[in-house]
Amino acid sequence: MAFRRKIKTLKSQKEEWIRHNQQESEEEQNKELEALSSDVFENETVLKSTFSDCPDVIFRRFLIGNETKAFLIYTEGLANIEELDKNVLSPLMQQDTARLTDIQAILEQKLSVSKVNPVNTIKQAIQEISSGNPVILIDQQTHGITLGLAKWEKRAIEEPVAESVVRGPRDGFTETLSVNITLLRRKIKSPDLKMKSLTVGRYSQTQIVYMYIEGIVDHHLLDEVHNRLSRIDIDGVLESGYIEEFIEDYPFSPFPQILNTERPDVAASSLLEGRVVIIVDGTPFVLIAPTTLYSLFQASEDYYQRFMIGTLIRWLRYIFILIALLLPSSYVAILTYHQEMLPTTLLLSVAQSREQVPFPALIEAIIMELTFEAIREAGIRLPKQVGSAVSIVGALVIGQAAVSSGLVSAPMVMVVAITGIASFAIPRYNASTAIRMLRFPMMVAAGTLGLLGIMLGILTIIVHLNTVRSFGVPYLSSLAPMKGEEMKDVLIRAPWWSLRKRPRLTGYSNTNRQQEGQKPDPLKGTE
């Protein structure tokens, strides 16, 4: 047996060695095939075959100084043609350019374009052309020039609809990567704000940039973010939701483990806490990692109002979360198993309203909740002009008709309405969706086991939340594990002059946020 095991080990090692050598030889051949040729027409033939049936990709032959052969490739609609004609073609075709045979000399003396880079392979040229940057290839040169003249239609900066505030900045991210980076640069004007980029998607070639503040972020977190992003291999990435599903820790958890936002101020505040912001080209939603459960229930406006108001609103929000999760299940449990908990007058009133209802409380609650969710989803998908009217009128009409026909009781309509309003108070849509999703198993548990089922459901949720991590950070931090200093920004919103420490995420680097002794004191400085 030992001899056979040894033979199998040797065979597997031999197969691995052969596979490794084949892979290396294939990589070397690909590198040789992808290298640009010194013959400009050979490069043109390869690129034209690559972009066959692509009439929007333009190939323009011209002579540099009426002597040197060259050609220009750009994508119509993605390149700035006016700047290309004025600052590239016109100076290169002048007679005095003939004496310039070196690409570096051409770059320094003739091209009045701020961003130019060398291109050494066919693959690089294809990527630049597809991204909107024109490429110039010159005869007898083994590398070309890419010009930063990409230009396309972009949406104006507007206030995010899903994260509106009464007091706070009104700008929001857009679908353009460079604009989003600029918005963060406006918030944090420090050279310590660093960024790294990579490309994901075999066909979409989507550019992804993750940003962090050097000296605040923990480098173990940076390495983990880079490793998770770099191992993504998919044909296309069209939205940051693709990336979120690939890099989260627990994909089968109903709770989101990565925060997404359209607000630059939320992203900037997360950077200042040592988090990493991931920006995906083509979407206004940026990702923030790591995150905690309490971050999903906090709004940016909590920090712009006075701390007493922020604390009050935060506590109201926690109460609304409990109502959105537990009110329908509590109603079902009390009516089904624990009628003695209701006062006699209220019990008689509820019993009278349910006298004509043919369904038990559990089925009644599920029907009403599904109807409310359908109306809410229809209101989201319909055009804005009619969406709100349909959702409000539909809820009123259907609720009144259901009560009049005896299918549901009036108290159940009130419970579902209060639950829906409470779920609207949750600032993050994905967190609200998780609460709405858990509402149904909680109702089933209440309908089968009563209050005992509700307690078992709550314990199951708490145990699950204690096992969830976001890039290694406990999901219930800073409550579990308990961190006294960081509790100032969890259950309450302490005044800014007392928030001296940054939250500990994955390291202890640069924990001091501000100097000590900044509490307002009118007598300070008069002594």
Residue 430 has pLDDT above 60, yes or no: yes
Q: 58 - beta bridge partners?
A: 74
pLDDT of residue 330: 94
- The whole-number pLDDT of residue 326 equals 94
What tens digit of pLDDT does each residue of 157-208 get?
Answer: 888 888 888 888 999 999 999 899 999 999 999 999 999 999 999 888 899 9
84: nearest Cα among 116, 55, 120, 41 = 116
- Least confident stretch, 38-47, 355-364, 391-400: 391-400
The whole-number pLDDT of residue 163 equals: 87
The pLDDT tens digits of the residues spanning 268-325 come to 999 999 899 999 999 999 999 999 999 999 988 899 999 999 999 999 999 999 999 9
Quote the pLDDT of residue 392. 64
pTM more than 0.75: yes
Domain boundaries, the chain: 40-147, 177-291, 303-344+351-474
| Average pLDDT taken over every residue of the chain | 84
Give the whole-angstrom CA distance, residue 115 versus residue 148.
Answer: 5
What mean pLDDT do residues 244-248 have? 94
Question: How far, in Å, CA of 413 to CA of 396, rounded?
Answer: 10
Average pLDDT of the residues in 137-142: 84
pLDDT in tens, 194-238: 999 999 998 888 999 999 999 899 888 999 999 999 999 999 999
pLDDT one-digit tens code per residue, 311-350: 999 999 999 999 999 999 999 999 999 888 888 888 888 8
pLDDT at position 29 = 42
What's the confidence (pLDDT) of residue 96?
A: 64
Closest to 185 measured CA to CA, from 209, 164, 211, 157: 211
The DSSP H or E segment spanning 119 is strand 116-119
3-state secondary structure 426-494: CCCHHHHHHHHHHHHHHHHHHHHHCHHHHHHHHHHHHHHHHHCEECCEECCCCCCCCCCHHHHHCCCCC
Report the alpha-carbon distance of residue 493 to residue 298 in Å, rounded. Answer: 10
Q: Tell me, what's the pLDDT at 488? A: 85
pLDDT exceeds cutoff 60 at 11: no
Query: Is the pLDDT assigned to residue 492 strictly greater than 90?
Result: no
Q: What is the pLDDT of residue 32?
A: 40
User: Given the DSSP bridges, would you call strands 68-75 and 135-138 parallel, antiparallel or unpaired?
Assistant: antiparallel
